[in-house]
Amino acid sequence: MIGGLFIYNHKGEVLISRVYRDDIGRNAVDAFRVNVIHARQQVRSPVTNIARTSFFHVKRSNIWLAAVTKQNVNAAMVFEFLYKMCDVMAAYFGKVSEENIKNNFVLIYELLDEILDFGYPQNSETGALKTFITQQGIKGQTKEEQSQITSQVTGQIGWRREGIKYRRNELFLDVLESVNLLMSPQGQVLSAHVSGRVVMKSYLSGMPECKFGMNDKIVIDKAGKGGVTDEVGKSTSGKQSIAIDDCTFNQCVRLSKFDSERSISFIPPDGEYELMRYRTTKDIILPFRVIPLVREVGRTKLEVKVVIKSNFKPSLLAQKIEVRIPTPLNTSGVQVICMKGKAKYKASENAIVWKIKRMAGMKESQISAEIELLPTNDKKKWARPPISMNFEVPFAPSGLKVRYLKVFESKLNYSDHDVVKWVRYIGRSGIYETRC
Amino acid sequence: MEWANQLCENRQFGSKMTDSKYFTTTKKGEIFELKAELNSDKKEKKKEAVKKVIASMTVGKDVSALFPDVVNCMQTDNLELKKLVYLYLMNYAKSQPDMAIMAVNTFVKDCEDANPLIRALAVRTMGCIRVDKITEYLCEPLRKCLKDEDPYVRKTAAVCVAKLHDINAQLVEDQGFLDTLKDLISDSNPMVVANAVAALSEIAESHPNSNLLDLNPQSINKLLTALNECTEWGQIFILDCLANYTPRDDRESQSICERVTPRLSHANSAVVLSAVKVLMKFMEMLPKDLDYYSTLLKKLAPPLVTLLSAEPELQYVALRNINLIVQKRPEILKHEMKVFFVKYNDPIYVKLEKLDIMIRLASQANIAQVLAELKEYATEVDVDFVRKAVRAIGRCAIKVEQSAERCVSTLLDLIQTKVNYVVQEAIVVIKDIFRKYPNKYESVIATLCENLDSLDEPEARAAMIWIVGEYAERIDNADELLESFLEGFHDESTQVQLQLLTAIVKLFLKKPTETQELVQQVLSLATQDSDNPDLRDRGYIYWRLLSTDPVAAKEVVLAEKPLISEETDLIEPTLLEELICHIGTLASVYHKPPSAFVEGSRGVMHKRLPARTGSGESTESPDVGTAAGGSAPEAAPSIIPSQGDLLGDLLNLDMAPPTTSGPPPPTTGMQMGGMDLLGGGLDSLLGGDIGGSPAMGAGFGAAPAVMPASLNAPVGGGLGDLFDLGGVGMPMGAYIPPKIVWLPAMKAKGLEISGTFARRAGVIQMELILTNKAMSVMTDFAIQFNRNSFGLAPAGPLQVLTPLGPNQTIEVSLPLSTVGPVMKMDPLNNLQVAVKNNIDVFYFSCQYPISMLFVEDGKMERQVFLATWKDIPNDNESQFQIKDCHLNSDAASSKLQGSNIFTIAKRTVEGQDMLYMSIKLSNGIWVLAELRVQAGNSNYTISLKCRAPEVSQCVFQCYEAVLKN
């Protein structure tokens, strides 16, 4: 199991050091600094073995988190734990930065004592942790409160405490998708997938039981065959169902129920959380198409023309559009002309950045640029990185639709109808690249 | 530490925001100041002081001097302060054990506190204080806490048992904590169950045979129930534990799989990977024609692909595991090639791993896409990545025959880019392509030759030289090209030198008239001016070959080479099986068994995939009537041997009788050619008989005088074998029992077999004398072994090449391997043998001295010896007397050393010499021994300790045999 956990700043100074096992000595702290943080070359692996000691590290801005062990630990678990550690810290004091870590080092030690025992990760749900790890001390607790805390930390529903009350029961549901594309210069889709998340904010009283439904092909086909839905239901939903390649769920979702019935039921954590993640690869709506044209004119000039076409309902508006056209390292000057938005050559980033605030569906826009090159005797050819794009659209490129979200709370007297529900779809670009 | 000084001023954010002030610079007398503050009456001041102490501790300052003052702050009802003091204690208790006792009372009291959080905190911290005296006091509170009414305390106590076991394993056993821990597996609270499982698994790891976890269908059922309810981390502990279970049959296996599959949808990647591990392992037991089997295969693909959308570090872990899964079960991901395409801003470690998997998945169906991608990658920036991409193109060519042409033209395009390292890498892979498809793509040689000057890496130079030598007859200026390399011969690396030597000899054999001078030059460079023994020896071999028999030389040097195999760098199957059992763990990331990177006894346990039930195992009886060829260990998928092996093969080529693997020997009767080479050839050279062949001219006759010296020098390994023909043997000092008759002629229709076993230069040999006492000629000899305790099996067929006439005797030595099937025999060293000839099949059994299984690297480190000696329970110790032995301890030690029994330490107590020795058996079992020798007493006492005590008796017999002979 994990033998020790260290946090360093960008210089390699230790901010936090907690050793759980005897086989990890103080010299491990220095070994990582010397061999990884101060190493001259780029990091070649997130797992490093130095003198029979293994170091796992992740970086958040310029903070290094390193877990150390001498045993054959579950590597995936160690990384999941390090991410979790970052999440917990962020939930307590915001951004994981050197300043915040120094300001909260006592708290961090306290957290590390609680969520990692002898190197074994323990309950690390912030909801539960915040009930008893605070910087105010827990002197005033009654006996009932204490046992409530422990039963929540160890209980089956570790993510929600009893007795939550809201005057207004409300639910916010965001379908956030990032659409990824790799396209050849000729416009052939090399790979495309959507990775989506369903993020919820729930402000519900008591211990509500929720059921979430979407236009999952498997569910809808099954319902269609079983004759449960009527003709009308079939014709409206039959075609619009989507094939989900795979999905993963928050630990509140009953996985065995999903496995057997494919229904998503759960008792939600309070506040904001990620209910599920999913991935689709079929019938993806690609919101934009990028058509590049690069021409080398002699050895000292490049002509670039890029056309972007929006491909969705004209009534919808895409926002925050940004096209990034890479330029060679020996660029000496660039002239750009674009029909819409603003374009700038950024020498430090070796790219022309073209920004458009808004763009409606079924439109097209164009940029052309002349790039002057310095003559070089470098034999190596320019690698021609792909043209990448960023945007945000108000629909789900996968075609996912929320069909229902039902809330049942038998003990308190509010019903599904009393809950105010909000649903929102946002599609963003993930890695959206076209080779040129 | 100058950082964060300025933050002190940020007081307006309230006290919570300014903890960083504790990190300020050390001033002189700071310790003194802190001491005063720690003893202050004001609570706030005390707390501030402790915080400062902890901050100093974090940055590595020694604040142990404050121990008593900090411990004084322990008795407080402020939980925050208490936790800080505990943190300090955990760090420094070990350096101040006597003072640490001061804290015990508080701990014991806290373990009875009304607040469960405090009870748990106390028991958790106590376990972290590794001071023996404290440990004693820990037992009672721990016992109570294990049965606490509050689950939070119980789950903490469960882990504490593992902590205590790490400090004092004996104590944990004596106090019966293990049983209490086992009971917790049935606890009503899932988190308690999970922690108990984690603790037991860890303890079980250091007692491989203890059966501590005692998994049975009932306990498995409990675990599977807890699996649905506990935290993500608990699920990982439980799944990892389940993976160690071997279901009784395929039905149980299926039902477990069914209950584990929902975990594949968990958001935590570690849960998913651990579930994949359980499924991959249990799948082995399912019959392949079962519907459920194919359903399961389909279910595995999507979650594996989803792992690739995790954070890059996890992607890396996932990819390393997918690499294993793809090798074990390629069908799972065969349609998922696209997800492994490299993204421009993937971190380099993700890119390299994806590339590896792409090649493994490449097939005729997707090769066009793959090639287009690889070509794209070859223009990237990162040098390692580009090289790997180029290499990958070559591997595709070898793997998918239909694509070879396209791959070659892609490689040529890349060579045109003139990017130095791309060109070099391309040439290296083109050489491999030539070896796979000989005489097909020579048209590209001209292009390659154009780039000769730009090659500066040894591997590329060697590859190019190989190509020139191999196709010398079609390259007009081959001699010029090779000559150009020869100029700086001594500055080249060995790899290039060897290749150049061979290439020029090839050239000479192909175009003898024009290249005599060149070949003489290279031979003299290699033999006279080089101090590299490999190069010299290869030079001499060529020299002699050329001078004695150019025809044979041609057949040896220009022999048809075996085609190289399709899949390179596959993980060896047994290792792969073991790694599959370690999916998700570090072992799967390193692609090494845990024993390779974990110290101590934890890594010793080898995990295996379960065997499929129902499939007919081979029969138990010595069913050896079939041809002997079948007895050879199953040919592992061929792997291109590394440089070292190739060299070994080269040297063995002429000596070894034809074996199933390895390059085919030259066609002229190998006995003659081989023997002559080393016998006759050598004699003639030494005797000054310069019988150079007519084609060679006199130039070759002048054999350099250094030669005999270099030949007589002791050379290890493969070279040793070179001179070790037919079991003549170099004296190794190992004990070899005298030959005895195993099979009398009466019982075997006139065939008498006698023999013995020996270990020579690390090779176990069965040395047989076959005598034909019948009237007719015997032919077609073959041998096979029944399964035996140490997996002994013939490493090759029995070499009786000539028919055995009446009254003729032949001595044969049969090399043995230890990778055959294993079955425990009684006595342990019993071996059942079947020998077949043209008349019948005969069975006999014999006993081998276990000493021939003692391996050469059996010398244990002193520290490890001590730890292991302690670690092995006393029950496993056995004592024997060796009577009438008149050696002194040193003589005994050196005699034993000859048989790979290594003396690690010697101690003399009251005129009695104690020798501590270690032995390692070929199957990895260690035997530790203590030999007591008293001056003037001819009786020795020996104590043997071993994790597998069954071997002790046999080992003792060896001691006796070795010492008395």
- Distance (Å, rounded) from C-alpha B200 to C-alpha B186? 13
Which carries the bigger pLDDT value, residue A378 or residue A303? A303
Which is it for the CA torsion B266, B271, B275, B280, positive or negative?
Answer: positive
Q: What integer pLDDT is reported at residue B618 of this predicted model?
A: 39
Q: What integer pLDDT is reported at residue A140 of this predicted model?
A: 54
Q: Chain B partners of A433 at a C-beta cutoff of 8 Å?
A: 343-344
The pair of three-digit structure tokens given for residue B923, joined into one six-digit string? 């199957």
- Distance (Å, rounded) from C-alpha B753 to C-alpha B809? 10
Q: What is the DSSP letter of B603?
A: G
Q: Quick one: pLDDT band at residue B17, thresholds 50, 70, 90?
A: very low
Task: Give yes or no for residue B408 having a pLDDT over 80.
Answer: yes
Task: Give yes or no for residue A307 having a pLDDT over 50.
Answer: yes
Closest by Cβ to A99, choosing from B20, B55, B369: B20
Is residue B21 within 8 A of residue A116, CB to CB? The reply is: no
Which is it for the CA torsion B545, B548, B551, B552, positive or negative?
Answer: negative
Closest by CA to B815, choosing from B726, B719, B922, B920, is: B726
Which carries the bigger pLDDT value, residue B713 or residue B759? B759
Burial class (CB in 10 A: 0-12, 13-18, 19+), B723: middle
- Distance (Å, rounded) from C-alpha B50 to C-alpha B29? 16
**Interface residue B88 vs chain A (CB under 8 A):** no
Find the mean pLDDT for residues B225-229.
89
Q: Chain B partners of A33 at a C-beta cutoff of 8 Å?
A: none
- Distance (Å, rounded) from C-alpha B67 to C-alpha A64? 31
Rounded to the nearest angstrom, the minimum Cα separation between B598 and chain A is: 6
Q: What integer pLDDT is reported at residue B500 of this predicted model?
A: 92
pLDDT mean across residues, chain A = 88
Q: Quick one: pLDDT band at residue A379, thresholds 50, 70, 90?
A: low
Task: Give yes or no for residue A87 having a pLDDT over 50.
Answer: yes
Q: What integer pLDDT is reported at residue A99 of this predicted model?
A: 92
Closest by Cβ to B313, choosing from A44, A46, A385: A46
Find the mean pLDDT for residues B593-607.
73
Find the mean pLDDT for residues B35-59.
84
The pair of three-digit structure tokens given for residue A402, joined into one six-digit string? 């929320």
**Interface residue A186 vs chain B (CB under 8 A):** no
Q: What integer pLDDT is reported at residue B464 of this predicted model?
A: 92
| B59 to A14: CB separation less than 8 angstroms, yes or no | yes
Helix axes A75-93, B312-328, angle to 10 degrees: 160
| A379 to B54: CB separation less than 8 angstroms, yes or no | no
Which is it for the CA torsion B816, B817, B819, B824, positive or negative?
Answer: positive
Please report, to the nearest 10 degrees, the dihedral formed by the alpha carbons of residues B765, B766, B772, B777 taken in order: -60
Q: How many A/B residue pairs have CB atoms within 8 Å?
A: 299
| Amino acid, single-letter form, for residue B926 | W
Nearest residue on chain A to B126, alpha-carbon basis: A118
Q: What integer pLDDT is reported at residue B3 of this predicted model?
A: 39
Closest by CA to B523, choosing from B549, B553, B502, is: B502
* C-alpha to C-alpha distances, A417 to A171, A216, A408, nearest whole angstrom: 12, 24, 10
The pair of three-digit structure tokens given for residue B726, joined into one six-digit string? 């037919």
Task: Give yes or no for residue B681 having a pLDDT over 80.
Answer: no
Is residue B378 within 8 A of residue B392, CB to CB? The reply is: no
Q: What is the DSSP letter of A379?
A: -
**3-state SS, residue A2:** coil
Closest by Cβ to B273, choosing from A76, A117, A120: A76
Reported ipTM exceeds the 0.90 cut: no
Closest by CA to A74, choosing from B243, B833, B110, B749, is: B243
| A23 to B599: CB separation less than 8 angstroms, yes or no | yes
Q: What is the pLDDT of residues B113-134, one digit of tens each?
A: 888 888 999 999 988 888 877 7
Which carries the bigger pLDDT value, residue A422 or residue B747? A422
* C-alpha to C-alpha distances, B198 to A24, B169, B604, B848, nearest whole angstrom: 20, 16, 19, 44
Task: Give yes or no for residue A153 having a pLDDT over 80.
Answer: no
Pick the range with the lowest mean pLDDT from B1-5, B181-185, B347-351: B1-5
What is the side-by-side order of every strand in the sheet holding A53-60?
Answer: A14-19, A4-8, A63-69, A53-60, A47-50
Is residue B741 within 8 A of residue B754, CB to CB? The reply is: yes
* C-alpha to C-alpha distances, B88 to A273, B24, B103, B119, B121, nearest whole angstrom: 36, 19, 12, 18, 14
**3-state SS, residue B678:** helix
| B270 to A76: CB separation less than 8 angstroms, yes or no | yes
Q: Chain A partners of B269 at a C-beta cutoff of 8 Å?
A: 76, 79-80
> At which residue do the structure tokens 């494919």 appear?
A262
Q: What integer pLDDT is reported at residue B293 of this predicted model?
A: 92
Pick the range with the lowest mean pLDDT from B121-125, B162-166, B615-619, B902-906: B615-619
**Interface residue B331 vs chain A (CB under 8 A):** no
Q: What is the pLDDT of residues B548-583, one digit of tens each?
A: 888 888 888 888 887 777 666 788 889 999 999 999
Task: Give yes or no for residue B910 having a pLDDT over 80.
Answer: no
Task: Give yes or no for residue B16 having a pLDDT over 50.
Answer: no
Q: What is the pLDDT of residues B358-383, one digit of tens each?
A: 999 999 889 988 998 998 898 888 88
Q: What integer pLDDT is reported at residue B435 of this predicted model?
A: 87
Beta strand pairing status for A63-69 and A4-8? antiparallel
Closest by CA to B84, choosing from B123, B61, B55, is: B55
Cβ neighbour number for residue A5 with a 10 Å cutoff: 24
Q: What integer pLDDT is reported at residue A133 of this predicted model?
A: 83
DSSP A211-224: EEEE-BHHHHHHHH
Judge if pTM exceeds 0.80. Answer: no
Task: Give yes or no for residue A96 having a pLDDT over 80.
Answer: yes
Q: Quick one: pLDDT band at residue B21, thresholds 50, 70, 90?
A: low
Q: What is the pLDDT of residues A201-215, one digit of tens each?
A: 999 998 899 999 999
Q: What is the pLDDT of residues B722-743, one digit of tens each?
A: 333 333 334 446 677 888 888 8
Q: What is the pLDDT of residues B691-701, one digit of tens each?
A: 334 444 434 44
Q: Quick one: pLDDT band at residue B813, thresholds 50, 70, 90?
A: confident
pLDDT mean across residues, chain B = 79
Task: Give yes or no for residue B713 having a pLDDT over 60.
Answer: no
The pair of three-digit structure tokens given for residue B589, joined into one six-digit string? 């990331």
Burial class (CB in 10 A: 0-12, 13-18, 19+), B685: buried
Pick the range with the lowest mean pLDDT from A175-179, A236-240, B389-393, B499-503: A236-240
Closest by CA to B200, choosing from B189, B184, B216, B187, is: B184
Task: Give yes or no for residue B241 having a pLDDT over 80.
Answer: yes
| B231 to A251: CB separation less than 8 angstroms, yes or no | yes
CA B483 to chain centre: 43
Q: Chain B partners of A75 at a C-beta cutoff of 8 Å?
A: 317, 584-586, 588-589
Which is it for the CA torsion B745, B748, B749, B750, positive or negative?
Answer: negative
Is residue B206 within 8 A of residue B601, CB to CB? The reply is: yes
Find the mean pLDDT for residues B797-819.
82
| A135 to B83: CB separation less than 8 angstroms, yes or no | no
Number of helices (H), then strands (E), in chain A: 9, 23
Q: Chain B partners of A118 at a C-beta cutoff of 8 Å?
A: 127-128, 159-160, 162-163
Q: Chain A partners of B275 at a C-beta cutoff of 8 Å?
A: none
- Distance (Å, rounded) from C-alpha A95 to C-alpha A101? 9
- Distance (Å, rounded) from C-alpha B746 to C-alpha B766? 22
Longest Cα–Cα distance of chain A, Å, equals 83
**Highest mean pLDDT out of A62-66, B779-783, B844-848:** A62-66
Nearest residue on chain B to A386, alpha-carbon basis: B344
The pair of three-digit structure tokens given for residue B719, joined into one six-digit string? 């070279």
Q: What integer pLDDT is reported at residue B7 of this predicted model?
A: 34
β-pair partners for B812: B768
Q: What is the pLDDT of residues B441-473, one digit of tens each?
A: 888 888 888 888 888 889 999 999 999 998 888
DSSP B843-876: EEEEE--GGGGB-TT-PPPHHHHHHHHHHS-GGG
Closest by Cβ to B316, choosing from A14, A45, A150: A45
Nearby residues of A414 by Cβ (< 8 Å), 6 or more positions away: A169, A205
**Interface residue B292 vs chain A (CB under 8 A):** no
Residues of A annotated as binding site?
342, 344, 346, 355, 357
Angle ∠(B129,B133,B138) on CA atoms, nearest 5: 65
| B311 to A143: CB separation less than 8 angstroms, yes or no | no
Find the mean pLDDT for residues B297-309.
93
CB contact residues (below 8 A), chain A span 52-111, against chain B: 52, 54, 56-58, 69-77, 79-83, 98-99, 102-107, 109-110
Rounded to the nearest angstrom, the minimum Cα separation between B362 and chain A is: 16
| B265 to A249: CB separation less than 8 angstroms, yes or no | yes
Q: What is the DSSP letter of B473?
A: G
Closest by Cβ to A156, choosing from B229, B317, B417: B229
* C-alpha to C-alpha distances, B383 to B160, B342, B372, nearest whole angstrom: 49, 15, 19
CB contact residues (below 8 A), chain B span 119-178, against chain A: 120, 124, 127-128, 130, 150-153, 155-156, 159-160, 162-163, 166
The pair of three-digit structure tokens given for residue B697, joined into one six-digit string? 């001219």
Task: Give yes or no for residue B616 having a pLDDT over 90.
Answer: no
Is the backbone of residue B141 left (phi > 0), alpha (psi -120 to 50) or beta?
alpha
CA A231 to chain centre: 39
Q: Quick one: pLDDT band at residue B161, thresholds 50, 70, 90?
A: very high
DSSP A294-350: EEEETTTEEEEEEEEEE-S-TT-EEEEEEEEEE--TTEEEEEEEESSSEEEEEGGGT
| B228 to A255: CB separation less than 8 angstroms, yes or no | yes
Task: Give yes or no for residue B917 having a pLDDT over 90.
Answer: no
Which carries the bigger pLDDT value, residue A231 or residue B122? B122
Task: Give yes or no for residue B938 having a pLDDT over 90.
Answer: no
* C-alpha to C-alpha distances, B681 to B21, B182, B508, nearest whole angstrom: 85, 73, 21
The fraction of chain B above a pLDDT of 70, given in percent, is 83
Burial class (CB in 10 A: 0-12, 13-18, 19+), B443: exposed
> At which residue do the structure tokens 């890029």 appear?
A306
Task: Give yes or no for residue B906 having a pLDDT over 80.
Answer: yes
Beta strand pairing status for A331-338 and B793-794? unpaired
Helix axes B269-283, B312-328, angle to 10 degrees: 10
- Distance (Å, rounded) from C-alpha B683 to C-alpha B671? 17
Nearest residue on chain B to A22, alpha-carbon basis: B130
Task: Give yes or no for residue B323 having a pLDDT over 60.
Answer: yes
**Interface residue B19 vs chain A (CB under 8 A):** yes
Which carries the bigger pLDDT value, residue B670 or residue A304? A304
Whether residue B849 is preceded by a cis peptide bond, meaning omega within 30 degrees of 0, is no
CA A284 to chain centre: 20
Task: Give yes or no for residue B158 having a pLDDT over 80.
Answer: yes
Cβ neighbour number for residue B693 with a 10 Å cutoff: 14
